[in-house]
């Protein structure tokens, strides 16, 4: 029990062992008292607790994690944090995680595959007990996810999910959503409905495209390939894609647009307005997500409300269940959505 420290910088922090020494008990007794384990005399426990308070003891979670081989921390990997969707998801995650006594290491990948790989690696180094991932747009190789799971670290995907590798996925039913909102447009009597689509590499992009086509098919409407333009998930892409649609001759031009999400819709709205067309009279448009800006838009955007908070919360809860082995991985959890009708679709 050497009193020397190796580095000059002496840690001011008191350890459980130091408290033990002061009280003339063993470190183990202190540990037991502090963690509320049984088999500690009431008197002893009180002595320990009051000493801990007195000396400002903060348990060293790092040492604890090393000894117990668990960190009570989960890693979150999101593609971005700027827009309203992910913060809201994170809020849901935070709440669930907090009440289960876990913590949250947040990494964002800026939609970059390399950064995502990097993030997953370092989160593993930090020995997170599990991972919550929404994939970057360009990810196509899933081997790292599989490897992570094989190493015993459960993953729950949310929103942008990866099916078929045995991990639990939490998302909305993209296909159904998009079909519903497309049918809403069909119900309005539009007959030339365009789709600004997401990248086909991402589950959401694929699912929504499928829903769009399905809705058309159900009403015997032809899919016109020139009316499907890939916009991606961001405003800028929506703008560019819409510009492209507006180049079509007036006869070919769509009278309605189903955008893959709200930000893309905002971009499209900007393009439509620049062409001095009216929404919804000249071109109606709807989005999906319910971005906080949707209500404020010049022509308030009809959209599918995607309950970001609930997605985050259920994903976190599912992950913690799997970490604590109270549930098996590989579940599909669908979060309910609802159509939020405003004006951009042509309703009142």
Partner DNA sequence: CGCGCTTGTGTTAGCGCTAACATATTTCAC
Partner DNA sequence: GTGAAATATGTTAGCGCTAACACAAGCGCG
Interaxial angle between packed helices 235-246 and 262-274, expressed in degrees from 0 to 180 and rounded to the nearest 10: 40
Q: Minimum distance between the CB of residue 269 and its own copies, rounded to whole angstroms?
A: 10
Q: Does 126 bind its own copies (CB under 8 A)?
A: yes
Q: How many residues touch DNA (CB under 7 A)? A: 36
Nearer to its own copies, 107 or 168 (CB): 107
Beta strands 228-230 and 103-108: pairing type?
unpaired
Which of 60, 121, 77, 72 minimizes the C-alpha distance to 98?
A: 72
35 vs 37: CA distance, rounded Å: 6
| CA dist list (Å): 271 to 84, 264, 279, 298 | 22, 11, 11, 13
Task: Provide the token pair at 33.
Answer: 């008292």
Which parts of 28-67 interact with DNA (CB under 7 A)?
28-29, 31-32, 34-35, 37-44, 59-60, 63-64, 66-67
Q: Which of 21, 50, 53, 69 binds DNA (CB under 7 A)?
A: 69
Residue 331's CB is within 10 A of a number of other CB atoms, namely 14
Residue 326 touches which of DNA, its own copies, none (Cβ within 5-8 Å per kind): none
82 binds its own copies (CB under 8 A): yes
Structure-token pair, residue 101: 């006594």
Which parts of 4-23 interact with its own copies (CB under 8 A)?
7, 11-13
Task: Return all residues near 93 (Cβ < 8 A) that are at least 6 apart.
Answer: 76, 104, 132, 312, 313, 315, 316
The interface region with its own copies, picked from 37-45, 57-65, 192-200, 216-224 by CB under 8 A, is 57-65
> CA 189 from chain center: how many Å?
35
Contact flag: residue 143 with its own copies (CB under 8 A): no
Stretch that binds its own copies, among 62-70, 170-178, 238-246, 326-334 (CB under 8 A): 62-70
Among residue numbers 302 through 341, which ones bind DNA (CB under 7 A)?
none
Residues binding DNA (CB under 7 A): 2, 5-7, 11, 13, 15-17, 20, 24-29, 31-32, 34-35, 37-44, 59-60, 63-64, 66-69
């Amino acid at each position: 029990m050497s009193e020397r420290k190796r580095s000059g910088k002496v840690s001011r922090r008191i350890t459980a062992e130091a408290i033990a020494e002061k009280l003339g008990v063993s470190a183990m007794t202190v540990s037991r008292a502090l963690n509320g384990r049984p088999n500690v005399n009431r008197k002893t426990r009180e002595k320990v607790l009051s000493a801990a308070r007195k000396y400002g003891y903060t348990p060293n979670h790092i040492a604890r994690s090393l000894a117990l081989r668990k960190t009570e921390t989960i890693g979150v990997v999101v593609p971005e944090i700027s827009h309203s969707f992910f913060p809201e998801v994170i809020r849901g995650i935070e709440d669930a995680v907090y009440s289960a006594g876990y913590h949250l290491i947040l990494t964002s990948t800026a939609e970059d595959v390399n950064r995502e790989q990097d993030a997953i690696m370092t989160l593993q180094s930090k020995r997170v007990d599990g991972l919550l991932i929404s994939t970057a747009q360009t990810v196509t190789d899933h081997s790292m996810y599989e490897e992570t799971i094989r190493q015993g670290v459960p993953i729950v995907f949310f929103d942008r999910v990866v099916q078929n590798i045995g991990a639990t996925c939490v998302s909305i039913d993209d296909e159904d959503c998009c079909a519903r909102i497309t049918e809403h447009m069909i119900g309005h009597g539009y007959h030339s409905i365009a789709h600004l689509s997401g990248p086909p590499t991402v589950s959401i992009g694929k699912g929504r495209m499928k829903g769009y086509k399905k809705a058309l098919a159900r009403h015997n409407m032809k899919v016109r390939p020139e009316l499907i333009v890939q916009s991606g998930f961001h405003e800028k892409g929506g703008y560019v894609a819409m510009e492209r649609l507006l180049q079509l001759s007036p006869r070919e031009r769509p009278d309605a647009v189903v955008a893959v999400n709200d930000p893309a819709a905002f971009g499209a709205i900007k393009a439509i307005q620049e062409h001095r067309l009216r929404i919804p009279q000249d071109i109606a448009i709807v989005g999906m997500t319910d971005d906080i800006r949707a209500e404020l838009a010049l022509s308030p955007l009809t959209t599918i409300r995607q309950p970001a908070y609930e997605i985050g919360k259920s994903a976190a809860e599912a992950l913690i269940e799997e970490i604590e082995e109270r549930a098996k991985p590989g579940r599909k959890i669908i979060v309910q959505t609802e159509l939020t009708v405003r004006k951009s679709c042509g309703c009142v």
